[in-house]
Amino acid sequence: MGCAVVGGGPAGMMLGLLLARAGVQVAVLEKHGDFLRDFRGDTVHASTIRLIDELGLGAGFRDLPQSRLNNVAVPVPGAGLVTLAAFDSLKPPYNYVAMMPQWDFLDFLASAAAAEPTFTLLMESEATGLEFDGGRVTGVRYRATGNGAADAEQVLHADVVVAADGRHSVLRQAAGIRAREYPVPFDAWWFKLPRRASEKGEVAGVVPSLGDRDALIALNRTDYYQMGYLAPKGSDARIRENGVEQFRRRVAALRPDLADRVDSIHTLADLHWLDVRLNRLPRWYIDGFLCIGDAAHAMSPAGGVGINLAIQDAVAAAERLAPDLRQGHVRTTTLAAIQRRRRMPTVVVQTVQRIMHRVVFVPLFAGTLSGKTLTGAAAGNGLSIQRILFFFLRHNPVVKRVLPRVVAIGPRPEHAPGFARPLTLRPPTKLGAMTSPTDTAVDTAAARARLLELIKELAVVRGKVILSSGAEADYYIDLRRITLHHEASKLVGQVMLALADDAGIDFECAGGLTMGADPVGTAVMHAAVDAGRTVDAFVVRKAQKSYGMGRQVEGPAVEGRKVLVLEDTSTTGGSALTAVEGVRKAGGNVVAVAVIVDRDTGAKEKIEAETGVPYLFAFGKDELGLD
C-alpha cells in the first residue's frame, strides 16, 4: 500500500481522493460503519467549493441538498442585527459558505474516490496502533469491527501512514507526539430545535445571543435550528445536575423567540457536549507518519473554520506526498515540507481564535460582557477593548473586507494539484451551448478562478512604466509570465476558448500580433484540440517578411477561414488592429478580437468601431484589484 489514511472525516476523505487521482494506492480506514453523526461541522467553505470545482466535481456537489450562509450577524441591543462577516461581499461564485450535513459531503467524496481504481475505503476498521521498523512507521494496526470480527487485529503496511483521526488521535499518541495545549475558557453543547415552515424564508445565518455568563448560537438549517450553548469550561456536570427544565429556561431566556419550542429538548441526553480544545503539535510527523487536520491542531469552534483548515492540510499533503509515493519512498523532508506549508495558516487562525477567546469569551463568562457592553448602552460603560473591536468590525473598511475572507477562504487556501484535475473540458456542442453550461461551465469557472489568481500573483507589476504606445502608466501586466507559465498556459487556452464559446463565436484559426499573442494562440489551439475540435494557430509578424515565403501571417493559411484575433492585453488597441489588418490582407474572415486582460483604456470601443467585430476580454482591470 502506498498510503494508509486513518480517519474518514473531511481531511482523510479528501486526501484519499486526491492521492487516488494521482494513481497512488491509498486506503482510508474509518472506524464507523457509516458517516452518520450529528453535530459534526456541517460547513463547506468557499475555498473548499472552489477546490471541488477544480476537481471537476462542482455539478454533483451543487446537486446536494444544502443552504447558503451569506453572512454572520449578531443581534445587538440598540443596533439591531449587525452583520459581522458579509460573505456575499466576496467575489462570486465563491462568496458563500455551504451548509450541508457532513455525512452528505463525506458520502459525496467517498463516491468520487470510489471511481478511482487505486482507492480503497475500509469502513468499520478501527486503528489501534502503529507498526514500526526501527524508528520508522511502516504500517497501521487496526481491527475490523463489522461482522462480529471485533478482535482480529491486522496490519496494513504502507509507505506512509497519515493520521486524520481528529482531536483525540489514537495514532499520534502511538507515535509519541504530544500536543501543546492552549487554555480555552468554554465548552459547547449542541442540540436541535425545530424550525417552522413559516420561518423557512428567514435570513440564513449564524445568530448568536449573549447572556450574562453564557451564550447561544443558532445556525439556521433547512428544517431545524442547530443550537450551540456556550458556557464556562467545567459546566457540564452542573448543567446535568440542574436538570432539563432549567436548561430549557436558560435557552428560552437567551432566545425568547424560540421559547415556544424548548420542550423539544426531551432530556439532557439530547445535548451533545463538545469538550473544546485548542492545541497544536510542535512536530506533525515522524519517519513514515504524518498528522493532519485536528490530529495536528485542534481548533476552537470560534469562527467555524476547523474543517476548512483540515481540508486544506489534505490538499497540501497530497500534492507533496504524491511524487514520493510514486517513487515508493516517502522522505521525512517531504513530511517536514507539509508541516512548513500548513503551519502558518494554523498559527494565524489559532491566534485569531485565542484573541476571540480572551476578548469575547473570558469577559462573557466573567459576567462583564453583554450585548449592551458592545454598544456602550450599559450604564457607566466607558471605552472597552470589546467596544473598540466591535466598532472596527462594523466600520473599518479593511476589517470588513478581510473578515469574510478569513472565515470563508482562510489564510493560504490550497488549490487542486494538477494531477487531480480533470484532463479535458467536455467538448461543447451547439445544443449544449444553447441549453445549459453544465460541466463545461463548472470546469471553466475553476480554470478562470485559478488563472485570475495566477495573474494577480505573477503578472501584475505596480510602478511607473512606459507602454508600447509610449504612454506612461502606474502599472504593467506582464502576461508573458502567464502565457509561458507551466500551469497558467493551459488555463489561458481553456478560459479564452470558453470566452469565445460563451459569446457564440465560431472560429477555425486563432492568433495575433507577435509576440504577446503567440503563446495565447497556441494555448487556444491546444484547448480546442483537447475538446475534440480543430483550430489552427497563426502568428502575424510586425512587418511582412522580405524573403522566404514573404508572408506577414505565418502558419496554416487563414484565407477564407473564420479567425479569432487574440492578444494578451491591450491598451490603445493598436497591436490588435495591426493583427486584424494583417489577417484581412491574407484573406481571413475576422470574427472577433479577444484579449486576456483589458486595461479599460478605450481599446474595446476603438477596436469595435474600426473593425466592426466584437471585442471580448476574460478579465477586467477591476478584477485584478487595479481599480
Ligand X SMILES: O=P(O)(O)OC[C@H]1O[C@H](OP(=O)(O)OP(=O)(O)O)[C@H](O)[C@@H]1O
The annotation places the binding site for 5-phospho-alpha-D-ribose 1-diphosphate at 541-542, 545, 567-575
**Using rule CB under 6 A, residue 47 touches ligand X:** no
- Pick the closer one to ligand ORO by CB: 473 or 529: 473
If one asks whether residue 575 binds ligand X (CB under 6 A), the answer comes out as: yes
Cβ proximity to ligand ORO: between 433 and 465 the closer is: 465
Only one of the segments 53-61, 104-112, 336-344, 472-480 lies at the binding site for ligand ORO (rule: CB under 6 A); that segment is: 472-480
476 binds, among ligand ORO, ligand X, none (CB under 5 to 8 A by kind): ligand ORO
Rounded to a whole number of angstroms, the minimum distance from the CB of residue 476 to ligand ORO is 5
Q: Is there binding between residue 611 and ligand X (CB under 6 A)?
A: no
SS3 103: helix
Grid cell in block for residue 45: 467553505
- Smallest separation, CB 622 to ligand ORO (Å): 15
Q: Is 220 in the site for ligand ORO (CB under 6 A)?
A: no
Secondary-structure percent of the chain, ordered helix, strand, coil, rounded to 5:
40, 25, 35
Q: Which of 91, 515, 532, 602 binds ligand X (CB under 6 A)?
A: 515
**Cβ 601 to ligand ORO shortest distance, Å:** 8
Q: What is the torsion angle, in degrees rounded to the nearest 10, for the CA atoms of residue 504, residue 592, residue 446 and residue 596?
A: -170
* Tally of CA atoms within 13 A in the half-sphere of 316 that contains its CB: 26
Q: Of 138, 135, 117, 160, which is closest to residue 323 (Cα–Cα)? A: 160
Strand partners, 513: 540
Q: Which of residues 556-575 bind ligand ORO (CB under 6 A)?
A: 569, 571
Q: How far is the CB of 338 from ligand X (least distance, A)?
A: 39
The C-alpha cell that represents 506 in the structure block: 465560431
Residue 3 and residue 327 in contact, taking contact as beta carbons nearer than 8 Å? no
Residue labelled with grid coordinates 509578424: 541
Determine the interface stretch with ligand X among 310-318, 353-361, 374-382, 508-516 (rule: CB under 6 A): 508-516
549: Cβ–Cβ under 8 A, 6 or more apart, which residues?
none
The DSSP symbol for 365 reads: H
DSSP 3-state of 178: coil
Stretch that binds ligand ORO, among 10-18, 96-104, 383-391, 464-472 (CB under 6 A): 464-472
**Binding residue (CB under 6 A) for ligand X from 353, 373, 571, 611:** 571
Instruction: Retrieve residue 424's grid coordinates.
Output: 479535458
Q: Which of 476, 507, 538, 617 binds ligand ORO (CB under 6 A)?
A: 476
> What is the 3-class SS of 535-581, one letter each residue?
CEEEEECCCCCCCCCCCCEECCCCCCCEEEEEEEEECCCHHHHHHHH
The interface partner of residue 573, options being ligand X, ligand ORO, none and the CB cut-off 5 to 8 Å by kind, is ligand X
Q: Which is nearer to ligand ORO, 330 or 459 (CB)?
A: 459
Q: Is 484 in the site for ligand ORO (CB under 6 A)?
A: no
Identity of the residue, 167 or 599, whose beta carbon is nearer to ligand ORO in the bound complex: 599
Under the criterion CB under 6 A, does residue 467 sit at the interface with ligand ORO?
A: yes
Instruction: From the list ligand X, ligand ORO, none, pick the one residue 327 interacts with, judged by a Cβ distance below 5 to 8 Å according to partner type.
Output: none
Q: Nearest approach, Cβ of 507 to ligand ORO (angstroms)?
A: 24
Q: Give the residue carrying C-alpha cell 520508522.
A: 136
Phi/psi-derived region of residue 112, left when phi > 0, alpha when psi is between -120 and 50, beta in every other case: alpha
Least separation, in Å, of the C-beta of 517 and ligand X? 6
Stretch that binds ligand X, among 33-41, 132-140, 549-557, 571-579 (CB under 6 A): 571-579
Note whether 578 binds ligand ORO by CB under 6 A.
no
CA distance 171 to 130: 7
Does residue 327 bind ligand ORO (CB under 6 A)?
no
* Contact pick of 246, 468, 506, 559 for ligand X (by CB under 6 A): 468
Near ligand ORO by CB under 6 A: residue from 140, 477, 527, 592:
477
CA 151 – CA 149 distance, rounded (Å): 6
Binding residue for ligand ORO (CB under 6 A) from 234, 468, 515, 532? Answer: 468
Amino acid at 268: L
Binding residue ranges: 541-542, 545, 567-575, 599
Q: CA-CA distance, 591 to 510, in Å (whole number)?
A: 10
- Residue 565: CB minimum distance to ligand X, A: 11
Residue 201, class by beta-carbon neighbours within 10 Å (0-12 exposed, 13-18 middle, 19+ buried)?
Answer: exposed
Residue 477 contact partner, candidates ligand X, ligand ORO, none, CB within 5 to 8 A by sort of partner: ligand ORO
3-state class (DSSP) for residue 627: coil
For residue 493 the three cell numbers come to 487556452
Q: Residue 302, class by beta-carbon neighbours within 10 Å (0-12 exposed, 13-18 middle, 19+ buried)?
A: buried
DSSP 40: S
For the segment 580-609, give every residue that binds ligand X (CB under 6 A).
603
The CB-of-469 to ligand ORO minimum distance in angstroms stands at 6
Under rule CB under 6 A, residue 466 binds ligand X: no
User: What sign does the CA torsion over 53, 56, 62, 64 have?
Assistant: negative
Cis peptide before 496 (omega within 30 of 0): no
* Residue 295 C-beta: closest distance to ligand ORO, Å: 46
| CA-based nearest residue to 126, from 279, 238, 24, 7 | 7
Closer by beta carbon to ligand X, 428 or else 516: 516
Length of the chain: 627
In the complex, least distance from residue 477 CB atom to ligand X, rounded to whole angstroms: 9
Q: What is the DSSP letter of 456?
A: I
Q: What is the CA radius of gyration of the chain?
A: 28
Tell me how far, at minimum, the Cβ of 478 lies from ligand X, in Å. 9
Residue nearest ligand X by beta-carbon distance: 516
Where along the sequence are the contacts to ligand ORO (CB under 6 A)?
A: 467-469, 476-479, 569, 571, 599
- The residues binding ligand X (CB under 6 A) are 468-469, 513, 515-516, 567-575, 603
